[in-house]
Amino acid sequence: MDILEYAFMQRALIAAVLVGLVCSVIGTYVVLKRLAFIGAGISHSAFGGVGLGYLLGVSPIGVAIPFSLAIAMAIGWVSRRGKVSEDTAIGIFFAGTMALGVLFIGLREGYNVDLFGYLFGSILSVSTTDIWIILGLGLGVIGVVLLLFKEFFFMSFDEEMAAVSGLPVDRLYFLLLGLMALTVIVSIKIVGIIMVEALLVIPAAAAFQLTRNFVRMMLLSVLFGVVSGVAGLFISYHFDLASGATIVLTAGAIFLLCFGLSPKRRGRRVSA
């Protein structure tokens, strides 16, 4: 295809595939363990990190990585041991870190930041460095998931039983939140801070409509995530639409299709 002659389109395509892959794998846990709101809290916290990076005059993504990891741990800590209810705590972190980001960027004199790009994605400005960051972090996340596959599986299904069996569920939970934070970072350039939540939830939720087998659900989720990324990219290019939004809406259309076709909803038997 001729549009792939452009180097920026090649990079965008690689990024879309990688992000679709990583988000859908982590998204499987987000959907099954009902971490969607925690995911929203973590993703919005990345904006505080981006803002701090600008203020300090260093790489925004470089600062967003430790910043998001720290907020993810803080949200996890509150949700586990806190005296504040989990959704209230997330609501506070969510808005608080966004506000910090706005404040930080405002403090930087004469700013002309592409805020819009961080919030809603700017896939066509993906640089070679970005590709390496996405590849490195993405493979790291996938590697950890493969290494601890059965542990995350058990913990997602039944945390108390996993604890009784001697699995270190607290550490696994915080590790999962950390992986979510890294997934958010990986996705910022593609769909942006505001919309990354969609890629964490929609492909896995669509896959959940079609199967009662965990591995099949994860594989279907990856298929949907990657197809959304690639199809969304091409559609946005052809019709000159915002790429991040088009990718998210493509995923949404896939979900609606799966929801309509779901044998579960029609009460049919699905083998596990």
Partner 1 sequence: MTNPSVISLRDVWVFYGETPALKAIDLDIEDGEFLGLIGPNGSGKTTLIKVILGLLKPDRGKVTVFGAPPDRLGRSRGLIGYVPQRSQGDWTFPVSVRDVVLMGRYGRIGLFRRPTAADEAIALKSLDAVQMREYAGRHLGQLSGGQQQRVMIARALAGEPLLLLLDEPAAGVDISAEDQFYELLGELKEKHGLTIVVVTHDIAVVSSHVEKLACLNQTLYIHASPEEVLTAGTLQKVYGCEVELLAHGRIPHRVVEEHD
The contact set with partner 1 (CB under 8 A) reads: 32, 147-148, 150-151, 153-154, 156-158, 160-167, 208, 211-214, 216-217, 269-272
Task: Residue 222: name the closest of 208, 203, 243, 206 by CA.
Answer: 203
Cβ-contact 189, 126 below 8 angstroms:
yes
Q: Judged by CB, which is closer to partner 1: 8, or 157?
A: 157
State the minimum distance, in angstroms, from the CB of residue 85 to partner 1.
16
Q: How far is the CB of 33 from partner 1 (least distance, A)?
A: 9
Q: Which is nearer to partner 1, 154 or 237 (CB)?
A: 154
> Which one, of 144, 43, 49, lies nearest residue 101 by Cα?
49
What is the nearest approach in angstroms of partner 1 to the Cβ of residue 102? 39
Give the nearer residue to partner 1 in terms of CB position, either 80 or 238.
80
Taking the complex as a whole, the smallest distance from the CB of residue 168 to partner 1 amounts, in Å, to 8
State which residue, 167 or 233, has the beta carbon closest to partner 1.
167
d(CA 206, CA 217): 9
Least separation, in Å, of the C-beta of 219 and partner 1?
12
User: Judged by CB, which is closer to partner 1: 84, or 161?
Assistant: 161
